[in-house]
Amino acid sequence: MKKAILLLTAFTFYMLGHAQDTASIKVPSIGFKIGILDFKKTNGTDNLTTAAPYFGLQFFKGMTTQLDAMVNLDMASLKYPYYVSKLITQAKTNQYYFAIDANLNYKLATDDKKIVPYITGGVGVATDQASFYTAYVPIGAGIQLKANQGSFIHISSTYRAELSPLTKIHFAHYISYTYPLKLRNKKPVMIPEAPVFVDADNDGVVGDADECPNKSGLAKYHGCPVPDADDDGVNDENDQCPNAPGPVKYHGCPIPDKDKDGINDEEDKCPNQKGVDRYQGCPIPDSDKDGINDEDDQCPTVAGISGNHGCANLQPLIDRFSSNLKFASGKTLLTKQIFAGLDSIVLVMKAYPNMSLAIGGHTDNTGSLKINQKLSEQRAMAVSAYLIKKGIENKRVSTKGYADTRPIGDNKTVPGRSMNRRTDIIVLY
């Protein structure tokens, strides 16, 4: 038995070590297989056949275009007396069965064919629970089917004739799938030629290490000059702003703009105040200091209000001229005193064409609300009609009646009611 194992080991190493290195010869491949072991079983005087499933691994390596070396490793679980010898006790439970064999497959065609029949033969050894060993000779035939990327499917049957009297002969039928191993080819050792070092720019960086062979540079920049990323003439080692161009006097940074108005300090006459270009970086002036710049101020030398475009607030003046717009009880008649004030208002409106007036009529609480509402509207209309008659455009005058809803005096007294029979004028810009 020891001689059979030694013979199997030597044969396996011989096949793996003498394969030819040719493109058309099968490359080393590994596969998985499943199949059936068909043993003869003795039951009294009858001879029966029992099939047991098994699985295993395969290794292939081509020796010639039509001859492959193959190694099989099989495993099964068996529970029947396949031994001939009466010295071995019949198994009561499943026992592990292992077998390894080495074979030569002679193919009737080369691997470039889709279907390749072949015959196989070899030598192997099997063991039961690592307790009993038997040698056998597998002889059979199979079909190789070409798959993708150098893979193959094998369908085969072998007759395994034992070389030991311990076991009965049996058959092995299987199907397997093999896939090529990617083995690294050995690269030839190349003796490099002695390099020729050239330093055309005399910067001490030679050969391929110099990325700027025609410009003198530094080793830390691979033979290139110190870079100037922003092309401002200040190299990056001295440039405090390497990504923004600027003059040397500012260490490579742009000319500063402290007030962030877009005008650099060298051209900005007001470097600490935001301004505009047409005033050399200074703010738009406000000559009368009324908070309205001269470009928007229609009265740039006289302080005014924004509502009147920088001109004076006209409401106090209109209030003074309209202070005498009082009416007799139940009347809408304009008196001479009223005319004088309205004439002054006309002059102001002509002087300030952007000004409009909102005229509101009022009454005391004498009479019903309905009568007072109509009376207040008529008083406002009387003032409006006079202004329009004096040349003021209709669109510059609006009217509204408030009846007795906005008193300014006590309606319980005669003087108070007199104050409430009035017309107010509000300036609109």
Tell me how crowded residue 186 is: count the other CB atoms within 10 A of its CB.
6
* pLDDT class of 23 with cuts at 50, 70, 90: very low
Q: What is the pLDDT of residues 124-161, one digit of tens each?
A: 988 877 777 778 899 999 999 998 888 999 999 999 87
- The residue extents of the domains of the chain are 2-180, 315-428
Q: Which of 135, 155, 131 has its CA nearest to residue 145?
A: 155
| pLDDT of 366 above 90 | yes
Q: What is the pLDDT of residues 85-122, one digit of tens each?
A: 566 666 677 778 888 999 999 999 998 899 999 999 99
Identify the bridge partners of residue 62 per DSSP, sorted by sequence position.
68
User: Cα–Cα distances in Å, from 78 out to 37, 54, 100, 174?
Assistant: 10, 10, 17, 17
Say if CB 31 and CB 58 are below 8 A apart. yes
- % of the chain at pLDDT higher than 70: 85
> Which secondary structure element, helix H or strand E, spans residue 122, and what is its range?
strand 115-128
Q: Mean of the pLDDT values across residues 48-59?
A: 83
* pLDDT class of 44 with cuts at 50, 70, 90: very low
* pLDDT class of 52 with cuts at 50, 70, 90: confident
102 Cβ partners below 8 Å, 6+ apart? 8, 11, 12, 15, 69, 70, 71, 72, 122, 123, 124
Return the CATH fold of 2-180: Porin (2.40.160)
**pLDDT of the residue at 126:** 83
Beta strand 397-401 with 170-180: parallel, antiparallel or unpaired? unpaired
| pLDDT of 26 above 60 | yes
| pLDDT of 184 above 80 | no
| pLDDT of 379 above 80 | yes
User: Cα–Cα distances in Å, from 362 out to 74, 327, 330, 334, 413?
Assistant: 119, 10, 11, 14, 16
Q: What is the pLDDT of residues 222-248, one digit of tens each?
A: 889 989 899 988 998 889 999 899 899
Which of 43-52, 150-159, 332-341, 380-389 is least confident? 43-52
| pLDDT of 412 above 90 | yes
The DSSP output letter for 422 is B
Long-range contacts: 318-325, Cβ < 8 Å, 24+? Answer: 318/345, 318/348, 318/357, 318/425, 318/427, 319/425, 321/345, 321/348, 322/423, 322/424, 322/425, 325/383, 325/422, 325/423, 325/424, 325/425
- % of the chain at pLDDT higher than 90: 48
Q: What is the pLDDT of residues 321-349, one digit of tens each?
A: 999 999 999 999 998 889 999 999 999 99
Q: Which of 361, 422, 357, 360 has its CA nearest to residue 390?
A: 357
**Does CATH place domain 315-428 in 3.30.360.10?**
no
**pLDDT of the residue at 3:** 53
- Rounded to whole angstroms, how far apart are CA atoms 325 and 386? 12
Mean pLDDT, the chain, rounded, equals: 85
Residue with tokens 């079983």: 41
